[in-house]
Chains A and B, each alone.
Chain A
């Protein structure tokens, strides 16, 4: 604890005179067609956005995709969407999730300006479920779309646990700036936008 007090003491002595926090009001972006902008940005960040009227249609659309048709191990966290082959709740050790092909996840909201979705991982049986599968599909209700990150942060709360903004598939450009999809996480990210 000696270091703690030393550091805080040194910081306190070094602090400049107080200035006000400017707040975050008055910033942001507005789009005339929210679902269209969101779908556009999902594509920009390397994902695929399918607009469907309801969950049944989301299920049908997903099953037609190669990421579902060719998948052997599928988990679905969204009842009625995707043909689950196993229930991750029954998996004790997250290491056993390695090699799973597809996980279907539900997002709390979607952000139009950057194609990101907010995933509340506290609700999942394993934290790894959004990153370890070869592919992910995310169900977003159109009614949850917000314009920008300011609106997004106004809408989410921070209870103990893990949550994230996921924007498209895992990617890297570390070799000569060439964009490669599928670095460590999902190789594809299909966003099913429901009700728009």
Chain B
């Protein structure tokens, strides 16, 4: 099923679709207020973009520098070409230490590698500790948003879910009470965990440190108790210097939620005393994307979620209408690079309004990339038949003036004489949720000819 078909299912529940739209718009407005509080916002964005571009141009060097310094700090650096190798490394580390309970903070990379099912199949319990992630994990769903994983769920549904899974009383819907229940439930997991895992927001080449950002403190609870901390990062997470963080951190939380900074911005330089730190550096298609001059800028993404929150299509279609686990504009530009056949519909899940590009803190040209992907999809013959023929027809229509004029006449006539139900059916998807226009007595060309002579 492509995006349009899944989105049609989502909007069938009109009230919920509006509620979802409003919830995301609220976050977008908070982002606007956060951005406005910083006088040098645009300069910051430009700097962030330039630092990422520079880093990409010397990525191999910075990765080596990071490895050298991280090792000097006492961490162990592993390299994984793909998700399978990543999972094997993580499982190997856990197995060798007899770790049976892993507490994990948010990491889209481990979702991408499908780590949880891999470990669970091998007898290791994995507990996602971010509240939103825990909710969707208990609900057997992937995250529907990269920053707010359970944004699609209503409090009543979470109440029912918690009642059935962690034993809260029936009918509980107060977010405060539900959060408190989750805190108690996850406290026990933190205290019982034999290993902790996190993603990586930034890896500093110059110092060998990794930076992990959360609001809940779950990454910190998960790494300050167990004897091993495993951190997974894509190769694009490395930045040259610690001082670059000043730029990225001033942008990240403001773009994500409007906060001036997240509650916990944790800097790990080597392991805790008496414990181990392992960093798994993962490629999984990233170096291939780096090769693509037109698309490599997408690798600069710092996963703030702002392009999702602002996207009129994401807001009205929900995270699960996308065929890739990262939804919204950034997901739709990344996914076809991995598998253009499976994700052929995603570059079309956009109005190309450009709002994503405007809010992106690292100035990724998201809507240009989506347009470029459309060209690729067409060139590779991956357009669905209906659209392919439609485009071919339109191309003929626009090539011959007489044909275009004739079609206009026919359409005006049809709108005038045919019953609205018929014309609506003939107009396809366009007319499904719109009133068709009232027909003007003459075309623009006719008006022009009458008043100004020959066009």
Pairing of A with B: yes
Q: Which residue of A3, A41, A186 contacts B79 across the interface (Cβ within 8 Å)?
A: A3
Q: Does A89 contact B (CB under 8 A)?
A: no
- Whether the Cβ atoms of B265 and A12 lie closer than 8 Å is no
> Nearest residue in B to A151 (C-beta to C-beta)?
B246
The docked-state distance in angstroms from the alpha carbon of A29 to that of B365 is: 27
- As a 0/1 sequence over residues 6 to 30 of chain A, the CB contacts with chain B under 8 angstroms (1 = contact) are 1110111111111111101011110
Distance to closest chain A CB from B179 (angstroms): 4
Distance to closest chain B CB from A176 (angstroms): 5
> Nearest residue in B to A8 (C-beta to C-beta)?
B60
Q: Which residue of A13, A94, A170, A174 contacts B225 across the interface (Cβ within 8 Å)?
A: A94
Distance to closest chain A CB from B66 (angstroms): 11
- As a 0/1 sequence over residues 143 to 177 of chain A, the CB contacts with chain B under 8 angstroms (1 = contact) are 00000111011101011111111111111111111
Interface centre among B26, B154, B180, B269 (most CB of A within 10 A): B269
- Whether the Cβ atoms of B220 and A130 lie closer than 8 Å is yes
- Whether the Cβ atoms of B290 and A172 lie closer than 8 Å is no
The docked-state distance in angstroms from the alpha carbon of A168 to that of B243 is: 23
- As a 0/1 sequence over residues 48 to 74 of chain A, the CB contacts with chain B under 8 angstroms (1 = contact) are 000000000000000000000000000
- As a 0/1 sequence over residues 171 to 192 of chain A, the CB contacts with chain B under 8 angstroms (1 = contact) are 1111111101011111000000
Q: Which residue of B58, B74, B81, B243 contacts A15 across the interface (Cβ within 8 Å)?
A: B58
- As a 0/1 sequence over residues 95 to 125 of chain B, the CB contacts with chain A under 8 angstroms (1 = contact) are 0000000000000000000000000000000
Give the number of chain B interface residues (Cβ < 8 Å).
95
- Whether the Cβ atoms of A164 and B207 lie closer than 8 Å is no
Q: Which of B253-261, B328-336, B402-410, B423-431 contacts A (4 or more CB under 8 A)?
A: B253-261
The docked-state distance in angstroms from the alpha carbon of A183 to that of B267 is: 20
Interface members, chain B 26-79 (any A CB < 8 Å): 26-27, 38-40, 43-44, 46-47, 50-51, 53-54, 56-60, 63-64, 73-74, 79
The docked-state distance in angstroms from the alpha carbon of A4 to that of B246 is: 30
For B293, the chain A residues whose CB sits under 8 A away are: 16
> Nearest residue in B to A94 (C-beta to C-beta)?
B225
Distance to closest chain A CB from B279 (angstroms): 12
The docked-state distance in angstroms from the alpha carbon of A61 to that of B84 is: 55
- As a 0/1 sequence over residues 127 to 153 of chain A, the CB contacts with chain B under 8 angstroms (1 = contact) are 110111000000000000000111011
- As a 0/1 sequence over residues 244 to 272 of chain B, the CB contacts with chain A under 8 angstroms (1 = contact) are 11110110000001011111111111101
For B263, the chain A residues whose CB sits under 8 A away are: 45-46, 166-171, 185
Q: Which of B182-190, B318-326, B393-401 contacts A (4 or more CB under 8 A)?
A: B182-190
- Whether the Cβ atoms of A184 and B296 lie closer than 8 Å is no
For B220, the chain A residues whose CB sits under 8 A away are: 127-128, 130-131, 164, 184-185
The docked-state distance in angstroms from the alpha carbon of A17 to that of B242 is: 24
The docked-state distance in angstroms from the alpha carbon of A116 to that of B46 is: 24
Secondary structure at chain A's binding surface: helix, strand, loop or mixed? loop
- Whether the Cβ atoms of B259 and A45 lie closer than 8 Å is yes
Q: Does B369 contact A (CB under 8 A)?
A: no
Q: Does A91 contact B (CB under 8 A)?
A: no
Q: Which residue of A158, A169, A178 contacts B209 across the interface (Cβ within 8 Å)?
A: A158
For A111, the chain B residues whose CB sits under 8 A away are: 261
- Whether the Cβ atoms of A11 and B217 lie closer than 8 Å is no
- Whether the Cβ atoms of A7 and B287 lie closer than 8 Å is yes
- Whether the Cβ atoms of B81 and A6 lie closer than 8 Å is yes
Interface centre among B85, B223, B240, B267 (most CB of A within 10 A): B267
Q: Does B201 contact A (CB under 8 A)?
A: no
Interface members, chain A 70-102 (any B CB < 8 Å): 94-95, 98
For B132, the chain A residues whose CB sits under 8 A away are: 172, 174
Q: Does B93 contact A (CB under 8 A)?
A: no
Q: Which residue of A10, A15, A44, A169 contacts B283 across the interface (Cβ within 8 Å)?
A: A10
For B79, the chain A residues whose CB sits under 8 A away are: 1, 3-4, 7
- Whether the Cβ atoms of B250 and A162 lie closer than 8 Å is no
Known: A7-B81, A8-B64, A127-B224. A175 touches B290 (CB 8 A): no
> Nearest residue in B to A13 (C-beta to C-beta)?
B291
The docked-state distance in angstroms from the alpha carbon of A185 to that of B218 is: 7
The docked-state distance in angstroms from the alpha carbon of A22 to that of B218 is: 34
Q: Does B357 contact A (CB under 8 A)?
A: no
Q: Does B176 contact A (CB under 8 A)?
A: yes
Known: A153-B243, A176-B23. A184 touches B260 (CB 8 A): no
> Nearest residue in B to A5 (C-beta to C-beta)?
B79
Q: Which residue of B209, B215, B224 contacts A172 across the interface (Cβ within 8 Å)?
A: B215
- Whether the Cβ atoms of A126 and B221 lie closer than 8 Å is no
* A residues whose Cβ falls under 8 Å from a Cβ of B: 1, 3-4, 6-8, 10-22, 24, 26-29, 41, 44-46, 94-95, 98, 111, 113-116, 126-128, 130-132, 148-150, 152-154, 156, 158-178, 180, 182-186
Can you list 5 pairs linking A and B with CB atoms under 8 Å apart?
A10-B283, A18-B57, A24-B246, A159-B269, A173-B215
A18-B58, A27-B43, A132-B221 known; 17 new pairs, CB 8 Å cut-off, are A3-B81, A8-B64, A15-B57, A16-B53, A16-B57, A18-B54, A21-B50, A21-B240, A94-B224, A127-B223, A132-B224, A152-B246, A153-B242, A164-B266, A168-B263, A175-B175, A178-B175
* B residues whose Cβ falls under 8 Å from a Cβ of A: 23, 26-27, 38-40, 43-44, 46-47, 50-51, 53-54, 56-60, 63-64, 73-74, 79-81, 85, 129-132, 135, 148-151, 153-155, 158, 175-176, 178-180, 182-183, 186-187, 190-191, 204, 207, 209, 215-218, 220-221, 223-225, 235, 240, 242-247, 249-250, 257, 259-270, 272, 281, 283, 287-288, 290-291, 293, 296
